Amino acid sequence: MEKKSDDAAILLKLTCEKKLKGVREIEAKIVLPLDHDEIMGLAQKLEGEGKLRILSFSPLFAVSRESVDFLGRKILHYLSEFHKKNPKEKGVTLDRLKKRFDAPTKVLFLALKALVHEKRLKQDGRVFLLADFERQLPPREERLLRQLEEICFGGDLHTVCLNDIQERFHVIPQKLQSMLDILIERKKVVRSTDDFFIHARWLDEIIGKVRGLGKKELTVADFKAMTGLSRKYAIPLLELLDEMGVTRRTGPGREIL
């Protein structure tokens, strides 16, 4: 038992010395004359104690928890400085993070995943940003955002498509798309796969009404009557509810989940 404890300490020391590069099985065997199963047993014991993380089992590739935490702190600091210098940009791309930090891709992914899980980072596709970051815009653009939000919430439909919005504003499509992306980031509106924009508060009300119907099935006609939407808007919204797991399509109607 004492020998195994000594071997585990040696493996952990080697892993810590390798820092972000991690230790690979071939390197561990130079120091520890053990077979694959014996080295894996040591690594799994150390992982269970929260001292290292296994990134590959065959062959073994592991990194110390200390190194992952160190990388996480470096990422948080880097993003904090980036947001200060670039308040209008959403965040940092994964490719940029790969170039910035000299770490194996698996180790970088592990650190980013841990930060997202801890809700210290947010991920939007291949872009990462601090969890509490919100893009800051000049006053004129903030006024435009408020107008866009009012369009998505106001009127009889409460839901509009990109063409509808473009008819009301004289801005290039790329700029308009950027503004809508910010509203989505701020959880003010929700975008469907058909490029319809629905105000988040109104969508919450609809979800509450659907779940409060007291039945398991929902027809398109029932949904149109409940929301006051035409078929043009009702179908994309129903499809969005399917994506969100509120409903599930069953033939011509929906099952309320």
Residue 72 pLDDT grade (very low, low, confident, very high; cuts 50, 70, 90): very high
Residue 69 pLDDT grade (very low, low, confident, very high; cuts 50, 70, 90): very high
Q: Do domains 67-130 and 137-257 have the same CATH topology?
A: yes
Residue with tokens 């129903």: 238
Domain ranges of the chain: 2-63, 67-130, 137-257
Alpha-carbon span 157 to 248, nearest angstrom: 23
Residue 115 pLDDT grade (very low, low, confident, very high; cuts 50, 70, 90): very high
Check whether 157 has a pLDDT greater than 60.
no
Partners of residue 24 on adjacent β-strands? 61
Check whether 166 has a pLDDT greater than 80.
no
CATH top class, domain 137-257: mainly alpha
Check whether 119 has a pLDDT greater than 70.
yes
Mean pLDDT of the chain: 83
> Omega before 33 cis (within 30°)?
no
Question: Tokens at residue 111, please?
Answer: 């650190």
User: Any idea which architecture 67-130 has in CATH?
Assistant: Orthogonal Bundle (1.10)
At 119, is the secondary structure helix, strand, or coil?
Answer: coil
Residue range 143-152, pLDDT digits in tens: 777 777 776 6
Alpha-carbon span 24 to 28, nearest angstrom: 6
pTM of this structure: 0.62
Check whether 82 has a pLDDT greater than 80.
yes
Residue 159 pLDDT grade (very low, low, confident, very high; cuts 50, 70, 90): low
To the question of domain 2-63 being in CATH 1.10.443, the answer is: no
Alpha helices in the chain (DSSP H): 2-17, 25-31, 36-48, 65-85, 94-100, 105-117, 139-153, 162-166, 173-185, 200-211, 220-227, 231-244
